[in-house]
Amino acid sequence: MQRPVRTAAWSAGLLALLVGVVVGSATLGSVRIEAMTVAKAALNVVVVPSSVTVETATVPIVGVGVPIPGLEYASVFSFQVQETHQIIVQDIRLPRIALAATVGFSLAAAGTVMQGFFRNPLADPSIIGVSSGAAAGAVAAIAFPALVPFASLHLSAFVGALLTAFLVYAIATEGGRTPVATLLLAGVAVQAFLGAMISFMLVHSGDDLREAVIWTMGHLANSNWGDIRFALPVIVVGVGILFAYARDLNVLLLGEEDAHHLGVDVERTKLLLLAVASLVTAAGVAVAGVIGFVGLVVPHMMRLVVGPDHRILLPTSALAGASFLVVTDTIARAGRLPLPFGPELDTPVVPVGIITAAVGAPFFLYLLSRREVHSI
**SS3 category, 50:** strand
Helix (H) or strand (E) holding 74: strand 65-75
Q: In angstroms, rounded to a whole number, what is the distance separating the alpha carbons of residues 272 and 249? A: 11
Q: In angstroms, rounded to a whole number, what is the distance separating the alpha carbons of residues 242 and 248? A: 10
**Closest of 275, 281, 272 to residue 158, by C-alpha:** 281
- pLDDT truncated to tens, each residue of the chain (376 aa)? 677 888 899 999 999 999 999 999 999 988 899 999 999 999 998 877 767 776 665 555 555 556 666 667 778 888 999 999 999 999 999 999 999 999 999 999 999 999 998 888 778 888 889 999 999 999 998 888 877 766 688 889 999 999 999 999 999 988 888 888 898 899 999 999 999 999 999 988 888 888 888 888 888 988 999 999 999 999 999 999 999 999 999 998 888 888 888 888 888 999 999 999 999 999 999 999 999 899 999 998 899 899 889 999 999 999 999 999 999 999 988 765 444 444 444 445 688 999 999 888 888 787 777 765 555 5
**SS3 category, 72:** strand
Helix (H) or strand (E) holding 67: strand 65-75
How many CB atoms are closer than 10 A to CB 4? 10
In the chain the domains, ranked by start, together with CATH numbers, are 21-51+66-369 (1.10.3470.10)
